[in-house]
Structure 1
Amino acid sequence: VFSPAEIFEQPLLIELLYLQIVHDIFSSVCVRISEAERINMKIFLSSHGVATIGDIHLIKTSSAKKDIIEQARQWSIYFCRFFPITTIKSHFNEEQLLGISHSGIRLIKRSRTTTNRDTLQVLETFPFDTIQYISSIRNGSTIDLNLAKKHITIRSQRIQRIKQMIENFLQESRTDGNKPSHVCNHKLSLPPLLNTSDLFKSSSQTSLMSYSQTFSELIPSTSVEINTPKPTKNDVILPTLSVLPTGHSMMEFALQNFKIPNRRRSKKGWKTSEWTWQDYAELIKWSKSPIQTPLLRRSSNDPSRIVRQCFLAIMRYMGDHTMARSQTDIDCLIYLLKNMHKHRTLIDEILCQIIKQLTDNKSIKIDSVQHGWKLLAIILNYFIPSEHLQPYFIKYLHDNRIKNEKLVQLCLNHYEQTLKYGGRKNIPSKAEIGLLTANGQNGGKHQTFLLPGGFPLTLLVTPSMVMDDCLNLLCERLNISNILENDEYSIFIIITSEHSSRLLNSTEYLFDIISECARANIIDFHFIIKRMLWFNIPIIFNNNNQSEMFINFMYHQLIPELLEGTMIILNNNHLSDKLMQEISLLAALQYRASNKIGLPSMREVKHLLPATVLKLKSVRPQEWTAAIHDKLCGLVESMSIIEAKIKFINLIKTWPLFGTTFFTVQSVDNPSIRSPCLIGIYKNGILFLDLDTRETLFTIPYDNIVSIRRHQTTIDIKYGSLSQPHILQCQLDRAQDLVALSGRYLSLIGRSLTSALERKSDTQQIHRSLTSTYNDPISTIL
């Protein structure tokens, strides 16, 4: 198990954890990993070239291994310590386990499938912050847990160890997360490893953590030293933690971390013992005068002048101190942000300074508090407190929600966004700060996004929004209800003067992109949304299920794809009568959707037909014109514009190559595939197509793909059996785009499968008969 505040930095520890996880992923007997978790991890490993257990050493970098460990840490029960228990609600013949991990405790039901395989089902999860009280042990085997919204009684023969472990983890989750000093002094004798595979040959049956130590305790540290400084005569004697205010109050944080100013020397000598709670409270309250020393002890390495100037900048921004000559509130903000970026240890110091000036604010300026909360909201778009300060900081925000609900909620929103996406990168512009100052709530502005066909869609956006948030809002406006379908869309930025476009990453901040354009004096830029994947396609389009805006979106994106002719298959370079009739109907529907009067001329017909069929000599222009006129005078004439568009979409989506993205390939190292050719990426796999006729030459389904690797303009597609895969090497200019698009499809397929498995798990009823004697693959962990 991990402890709540534990980190893993030792190379040996990272290597051992990585090897354990990968071995368990490719082992079918590890019951701690759900099928959905296993599939997602295999997709992730495959993207790094690890398709089988034999590829385990292909991942070399420590950062990639840490990413894998972090993903495994999110799994519900993989890093859990299991204890057999019974609860009041336990049924006879039902075996329950208590799982304790770094994220909380879980009630788990253990059962056996019809194939005699063990399964573990999480019944309930209780994070540590919901545990309010743990009773003393009764009758030698029972404790009560008081939770935020319920009460549970647990019985176990190992109740002493359960209580001790919960209390230790609960205390660690509520404190600053410093590692206990025994980590450094701990000596662990490990038997020499002849082969790393020996350690993992049965990791699902014998846990690496089969006893109560955490991971860091297993690997003795030789680089970390924890020394407790001896008190001097100038140190203030603090109350013991047992009498400190509880619940992560700022008072508690101040007593543990603030520098306590020394008393002046009097005739009676030092009076360090005469500090009162009132004196301590003043440390975290508003001050009308600038501070002379840092608030935090840990800030001693930072220049004191910078710390004082930062506090002055906060006072000036809040209106509690006069500005320097030609100085503005924007100058104060930029000074703070630049120093927080340059001196990362100042982040907690400045956040504590702002909290100090917000607490019991007695400023004569009426809007001092409002400016303080706005300043905090802006800063939280860029920086958040360390794990050490975080619980106290969050509690402070929640404690002040009643008085300043909207601004505090804005701070919380910005904190969550920065925690999730890493924070803004560019200094805010004067216009952006002016927006926050003007409306005071969210600093929002209206931003226009262009839909296919050039139709504008305006959204209210805020400085904390990333492109993924914009996409979610756009999909909401398009009335797209399937959350997974949101991932099929992307936003591009197009700069007209440079004739360039760029696909925006979902984690990029919108206001950072706008700031970059403003700094480069680029004003002719546009944000365009486009559908990139076609996986979750409605069975049928109609006015009842889709909005008119969504129908227009789909129609105008599909028109240029039709006119390019890439979706048209010419079997033996011949256009079938059925396909000719469908193309004629699509042309007639286009003409009706454009709301033109009368019948199209032969010249107009050329603009309604795909480029590939215009090159065919087997069908003359007069024949196309007559066929389109016939369609218009028949069924299409009576349709409304929206009905014509819906008919167009429903027809074209029946074509085999609908939703396929094409890449031109210069060469393929397979003689059966004619080069040059096209590669088509679609929802079921990868197609190799004839360059002229679009006939299929070769197909690789996604479930047959082992890995796809790119080497500049070359890609290697490994497919077939895991033990003896085939490799197909292709040469193309847009290799990076192809790998990225296929990766998005694989990721979406994995998430769709996970969602389906979760729904199945929620509705499935598990029935089993419990036997007292059978082979127990997890008995050694209990």
Structure 2
Amino acid sequence: AELASQQYYIDYGSEILLERLLSLIPSYIPDREITASRSVEKWAHFIMAAHKKSIYTQKRFDPQKVKEEVVDFARHKWPLLFSRFYEAFKFSVYFVDEQEQVLLELSFPEITAVSRKLQGQSFTLATIKGDEYTFTSNNAEDIRDLVVTFLEGLRKRSKFVVALQDNPNPTGEESTFLSFRKGDLILLDQETGEQVLNSGWAHGVNERTNQKGDFPADCVYVLPTMTRPQQDIVVRRKTYLKRLSLIFREYKNVITGHFHRVMVTKNRGKDKLWSCTREPLKQPLLKKVVSHEELAQDACILPIMKYMGDYPSKRTRSVNELTDQIFEGALKAEPLKDEIYCQIIKQLTDNHVNEEKGWELLWLCTGLFPPSNVLLPHIQRFLQSKKHHPLSGDCMQRVHKALRNGSRKYPPHLVEVEAIQHKTTQIFHKVYFPDDTDEAFEVESSTKAKDFCQNISTRLLLKSPEGFSLFVKISDKVISVPEGDFFFDFVRHLTDWIKKSRPAKDGIVPSLTYQVFFMKKLWTNTVPGKDSFADSIFHYYQELPKYLRGYHKCSREEVFQLAALIYRVKFEDDKSHFPTIPKMLRELVPQDLIRQMSPDDWKRSVVAYFNKQAGKSREEAKLMFLKVIYKWPTFGSAFFEVKQTTEPNYPEILLIAINKHGVSLIDPKSKDILTTHPFTKISNWSSGNTYFHITIGNLVRGSKLLCETSLGYKMDDLLTSYISQMLTTMNKHRSGRGHSK
């Protein structure tokens, strides 16, 4: 009632009229709150009572101030309404589940670090409890940046700091220096966190002793909060600081003692431990792995020897079975990465029989992940000492690329393993285009989808790769490759997923072939004539099938004109195919319009329009075609036929178009656009094998559209991509305005 009263005051002022209020209540009060026991009339009584005793009506507040109070109240009462939602795959916990229930809430003072893998799609939140929550999301960088922005902004405005150490300055009765112990909470007097972060000294009150004084800024941590932190957070922060100092001490010891068991010194000559062996190791090489029982069990000792032929293998294996066993564990546990490097180098050292197999493994390893900073110089020295080997230089380059691009998520793809086994370090991949052409492109272990798209765009002389994407066609699915994914990781993950959903028959795992397509995905800035190569190779051939399926609403005149242009693209000025026009109508006219005229009438109309376009080339005809459909609101759409079960005013079978304008709902018979939901109004969406759900509006007064479809994964991906692009553009504009100031 209080909120409704405030809304009325903002709209109409302090004087309240019962008749007007009764008509407004359905838009002020959520439907679920209007019941038989709480009728519209009762709500009117509650609202008028709240209005009468409110301070803003008595003191005639400025409506803007009341708006601010409403927002401030809502911000604390319903924080989810002020949230950005991201889809993430659970490694530790979900923060919000599909029913929008909050399962975990972290206040900013509880967060000690936000990190992400270099160029990766995962981010980690560390808390003062010592917990770490790692999520994988296509928006990982976006989420991390958002959290960091809040943390930095709060720290700049904060008046609360916590001591990182005991104050090193001696304090006497006359001293102006503040005395404190590690973990003490200090309230800043004059300064804010921004001054503390940017200056050498600060002044504040030690909450424990109630003393005032000056203190060095580098002895405190500025808490990211505008309000006094809860006592348990201060206590946990103190515990965290103790634990942190222990970790630093332990890490220092690890660095000094890391290699004393395994590294070769000049005085000792070649230690047997660093030479290949035919006997399996009884324990891992590195101390940090030995001391971790679970990791020690996963340290791949036998598979490396079996791959190299240094240990007998009794059965025939698939090409990448052993490489999977070797690298899978290391890709999940960071300490095992160095262990694998050390075991491979050990096994190829002084191995006169199977050294080449060891180089194959090292080549694969350097393409998957880099060694740690501690091990890196030793790997570099090893490779420099083996300059004579043809793979040495390539391995060095691959290490540098892995350092720059980050670690892969999956073991080597079959294509990578087969390539190195056939003594080739160059892998070429065929890519198909919408105009039925294809070209081969080199793909490296470190190639990400974004790099791949850039390479294709450059080769095809496109003006920009913006809006284009790689698609992998496998089995009965065509799936877009996220631009931040390593190409081989994505294909590997996809084939593994399909194999799991198709169990082996008679013990034989089905072999899955796939094709890679390069197509326009996001049409936000697509204008016919802006990029002639993109129009000719992509835009025309991607829009044509959608037009012929009858998804667009168009006039008969436009259909005649477009049919003549399609004919010209096929045959240019050749009129010898005119007699066959009645037989090729499905290639010229939208399928739902063919029966509206006789074949001969269609032929006469198409020929008449063809003659009007005399002298136009094939490329000019493509551009003219695109310019006609560019005028339609459905240009550049991806169309999905779905069965909807929530909106009685709409047909049961709907055509959903996703394009630069948002999500449009179309009557499949009349082709009328029933409504268009812009991306800014879409708050949530989800998909599964048989459904696609979308929430329009906010969580309080929003509506859901539930659809049955087998293409939910495509709709989900496309919507995610368009909204991500929109947010990126908005952020660029904001930062641009910030710099211009």
* Residue 157 of structure 1: aligned partner: 201
Out of 611, 629, 644, the residue aligned to residue 633 of structure 1 is 611
* Residue 624 of structure 1: aligned partner: 602
Would the aligned equivalents of 2:95 and 2:104 in 1 still touch at CA under 8 Å?
no
Matched position secondary structure for 1:687: strand
Would the aligned equivalents of 1:592 and 1:641 in 2 still touch at CA under 8 Å?
yes
* Residue 295 of structure 1: aligned partner: 285
Out of 577, 582, 592, the residue aligned to residue 603 of structure 1 is 582
Q: CA deviation at 1:695?
A: 0.8
* Residue 566 of structure 1: aligned partner: 551
* Residue 736 of structure 2: aligned partner: 759
* Residue 780 of structure 1: aligned partner: none
Q: CA deviation at 1:281?
A: 9.4
Is 1:587 paired with 2:563? yes
Q: CA deviation at 1:378?
A: 0.7
Give me the whole-angstrom Cα distance separating, in 1, the residues matched to 2:325 and 2:473. Answer: 28
Q: CA deviation at 1:557?
A: 1.7
Structural mapping, 1:516-535, within 5 Å: 520=509, 522=511, 525-535=514-524
Give me the whole-angstrom Cα distance separating, in 1, the residues matched to 2:260 and 2:451. Answer: 41
Q: CA deviation at 1:426?
A: 5.4
Is 1:391 paired with 2:373? yes
Structural mapping, 1:135-174, within 5 Å: 155-158=199-202, 161-163=216-218
Alpha carbons of structure 1 residues 342 and 710: separation in structure 2 relative to 1, 3 Å: closer
Alpha carbons of structure 1 residues 711 and 253: separation in structure 2 relative to 1, 3 Å: closer
Out of 210, 226, 236, the residue aligned to residue 205 of structure 1 is 226
- For 1:677, give the aligned amino acid: L
Q: CA deviation at 1:445?
A: 2.0
Q: C-alpha offsets along residues 38-96 of structure 1, whole Å, 9 cap, x if unaligned?
A: 99961427999x9999x974446999975499965545454449999xxxxxxxxxx9x
Structural mapping, 1:25-424, within 5 Å: 42-44=84-86, 57-59=101-103, 67=135, 73-75=144-146, 76-80=148-152, 155-158=199-202, 161-163=216-218, 205-206=226-227, 208=229, 217=238, 255-258=256-259, 260=261, 287=275, 294-297=284-287, 298-299=289-290, 301=293, 313=305, 323=310, 338-339=325-326, 341=328, 346-354=336-344, 375-382=361-368, 390-396=372-378, 405-414=393-402, 419=407, 421-424=408-411
When the two structures are superposed, what TM-score results if normalisation uses the length of structure 1?
Answer: 0.57
Q: C-alpha offsets along residues 655-681 of structure 1, whole Å, 9 cap, x if unaligned?
A: 221122222233443343233332222
Give me the whole-angstrom Cα distance separating, in 2, the residues matched to 1:685 and 1:288. Answer: 61
Q: CA deviation at 1:408?
A: 0.9
Out of 715, 718, 739, the residue aligned to residue 695 of structure 2 is 718
Q: Which structure carries more helix by proportion?
A: 2
* Residue 639 of structure 2: aligned partner: 662
- For 1:743, give the aligned amino acid: T
* Residue 696 of structure 1: aligned partner: 673
Alpha carbons of structure 1 residues 743 and 515: separation in structure 2 relative to 1, 3 Å: closer
Matched position secondary structure for 1:603: helix
Give me the whole-angstrom Cα distance separating, in 2, the residues matched to 1:164 and 1:354. Answer: 45
Q: C-alpha offsets along residues 738-757 of structure 1, whole Å, 9 cap, x if unaligned?
A: 33332332222222222333
Would the aligned equivalents of 2:582 and 2:603 in 1 still touch at CA under 8 Å?
no
Provide the identity percentage. 16
When the two structures are superposed, what TM-score results if normalisation uses the length of structure 2?
Answer: 0.60
* Residue 719 of structure 2: aligned partner: 742
Is 1:445 paired with 2:427? yes
* Residue 555 of structure 1: aligned partner: 540
Matched position secondary structure for 2:431: strand
Q: C-alpha offsets along residues 612-635 of structure 1, whole Å, 9 cap, x if unaligned?
A: 22132xx44444323322232233
Matched position secondary structure for 2:440: strand
Would the aligned equivalents of 2:529 and 2:535 in 1 still touch at CA under 8 Å?
no
Give me the whole-angstrom Cα distance separating, in 2, the residues matched to 1:626 and 1:227. Answer: 87
Is 1:473 paired with 2:462? no
- For 2:702, give the aligned amino acid: P
Give me the whole-angstrom Cα distance separating, in 2, the residues matched to 1:46 and 1:405. Answer: 38
Is 1:456 paired with 2:438? yes
Q: C-alpha offsets along residues 12-31 of structure 1, whole Å, 9 cap, x if unaligned?
A: xxxxxxxxxxxxxx9889xx
Give me the whole-angstrom Cα distance separating, in 1, the residues matched to 2:96 and 2:383. Answer: 52
Give me the whole-angstrom Cα distance separating, in 1, the residues matched to 2:509 and 2:491. Answer: 14
Matched position secondary structure for 1:594: helix
Would the aligned equivalents of 1:334 and 1:427 in 2 still touch at CA under 8 Å?
no
Alpha carbons of structure 1 residues 648 and 411: separation in structure 2 relative to 1, 3 Å: same
- For 1:590, give the aligned amino acid: I
* Residue 664 of structure 2: aligned partner: 687
Q: C-alpha offsets along residues 510-531 of structure 1, whole Å, 9 cap, x if unaligned?
A: 6637987998564764333343
Matched position secondary structure for 1:42: coil
Alpha carbons of structure 1 residues 756 and 670: separation in structure 2 relative to 1, 3 Å: same
Tell me, which stretches of 5 or more residues in structure 1 are unaligned? 1-25, 30-37, 85-94, 103-152, 170-201, 229-239, 262-274, 570-578, 766-782
- For 1:412, give the aligned amino acid: H
* Residue 420 of structure 2: aligned partner: 433
Alpha carbons of structure 1 residues 206 and 380: separation in structure 2 relative to 1, 3 Å: farther
Structural mapping, 1:484-523, within 5 Å: 484-486=466-468, 489-495=469-475, 500-503=476-479, 505-506=481-482, 507=485, 509=489, 512=492, 520=509, 522=511
Would the aligned equivalents of 2:319 and 2:414 in 1 still touch at CA under 8 Å?
no
Give me the whole-angstrom Cα distance separating, in 2, the residues matched to 1:743 and 1:695. Answer: 25
Alpha carbons of structure 1 residues 384 and 352: separation in structure 2 relative to 1, 3 Å: same
Alpha carbons of structure 1 residues 392 and 304: separation in structure 2 relative to 1, 3 Å: closer
Matched position secondary structure for 1:422: coil
Would the aligned equivalents of 1:713 and 1:733 in 2 still touch at CA under 8 Å?
yes
Q: C-alpha offsets along residues 184-242 of structure 1, whole Å, 9 cap, x if unaligned?
A: xxxxxxxxxxxxxxxxxx97523759999797646799xx99999xxxxxxxxxxx999
Would the aligned equivalents of 1:46 and 1:707 in 2 still touch at CA under 8 Å?
no
- For 1:351, give the aligned amino acid: Y
Kindly tell me the number of residue pairs found equivalent between the two proteins: 562
Matched position secondary structure for 2:593: helix
What is the Cα-based RMSD across aligned positions, in Å? 5.8
Q: C-alpha offsets along residues 123-146 of structure 1, whole Å, 9 cap, x if unaligned?
A: xxxxxxxxxxxxxxxxxxxxxxxx
* Residue 654 of structure 2: aligned partner: 677
* Residue 505 of structure 2: aligned partner: none
Alpha carbons of structure 1 residues 162 and 678: separation in structure 2 relative to 1, 3 Å: same
- For 2:411, give the aligned amino acid: R
Q: CA deviation at 1:694?
A: 0.5
Would the aligned equivalents of 1:687 and 1:700 in 2 still touch at CA under 8 Å?
yes
Matched position secondary structure for 2:86: helix
Give me the whole-angstrom Cα distance separating, in 2, the residues matched to 1:77 and 1:651. Answer: 45
Asked which structure has the greater RCO (Cα within 8 Å, sep 6+), the reply is: 1
Would the aligned equivalents of 1:535 and 1:683 in 2 still touch at CA under 8 Å?
yes
Q: CA deviation at 1:296?
A: 2.0
